[in-house]
Structure 1
Amino acid sequence: MRYMLLFHYSEESEETLGAEALAEGRRAMAAYAATLEQAGILVSSQILQSSTVTTTLTATGGEPRIQDGPYADTKEQLGGVVVIDVPDLDTALTWARQAPPAAWGTVEIRPGAVHIEDGAWVPS
């Protein structure tokens, strides 16, 4: 079963976080991704750019509305996503506990419903 590990945390700049802490976070994420890959469960991963470069599209009432910035005005933003393929939620939780963002934010574990594989919808 595929699970998405969604990383939510407060966005910090290099100036507010510090170059050393930023570098350590990057090293921790690289090591985590390598561990997932070595375990054979990593499907994909993305660390996102800052929400300050986000563009949001809504079409309420049929009219498209485009705005700069994230949809939700919150302290924590979605900072990245990892997709893993594991047998069950308990296993997904085990891997989520090891995610570096758990130490500085929230890791949301969400099962996938379906995904596209070779052009066809497949239950996750």
Structure 2
Amino acid sequence: MQFLILIYAEEKVYDDMPADQLAEVMAAYRQLEDDMQQAGVLLSGAELAPVRTARTVRIRRNQPHFTDGPFAETKEALGGYFLIDCASMDEALKWAARCPSAHDGSIEVRPLMAPPPEA
């Protein structure tokens, strides 16, 4: 079963973090990624560019409208993801709990929908 680990954190926390501390966080992410690869569960993963580079598209009255950023009601923003393949939600949660951003942000674990059966 595939799960998406969505990593949310306040970008300002990382922008203001001392370089040596940020290096430790990034090393922890590299270790987590290596461990997931060795366990054979990692399918994909990426860090996202800052929210200030994002654009949002909405269609209203059949017209596209483009706005800056995601405009979420939270200070936390989606900063990256891992796509993993695990036997259960419990296993996926164990991997998610190892994300360094769980200490000052939040980690969402969401199963991917199975494709519909072919007719």
TM-score, reference length from structure 1? 0.85
Q: Deviations over 1:3-50 (max 9, x none)?
A: 011011111276511211221111111111011001000010011111
The residue aligned with 2:47 is 47
Report the CA distance between 1:52 and its aligned residue.
Answer: 0.7
> Could you list the runs of 5+ residues in structure 2 that have no partner in the other structure?
none
Whole-angstrom distance in 1 between the partners of 2:13 and 2:95: 27
Alignment of 1:112-123 (within 5 A): 112-114=112-114
Whole-angstrom distance in 1 between the partners of 2:48 and 2:71: 15
The residue aligned with 1:96 is 96
Is 1:11 aligned to residue 11 of structure 2? yes
Report the CA distance between 1:72 and its aligned residue.
Answer: 1.5
Alignment of 1:64-103 (within 5 A): 64-103=64-103
Report the CA distance between 1:69 and its aligned residue.
Answer: 1.6
Distance 1:101 1:13, change over 3 A: closer
TM-score, reference length from structure 2? 0.88
- Which runs of structure 1 show a deviation greater than 4 angstroms over 4 or more consecutive aligned residues? none
Whole-angstrom distance in 2 between the partners of 1:93 and 1:13: 24
Q: Deviations over 1:41-90 (max 9, x none)?
A: 00100111110111111112221001112231421000111010001111
Distance 1:97 1:15, change over 3 A: closer
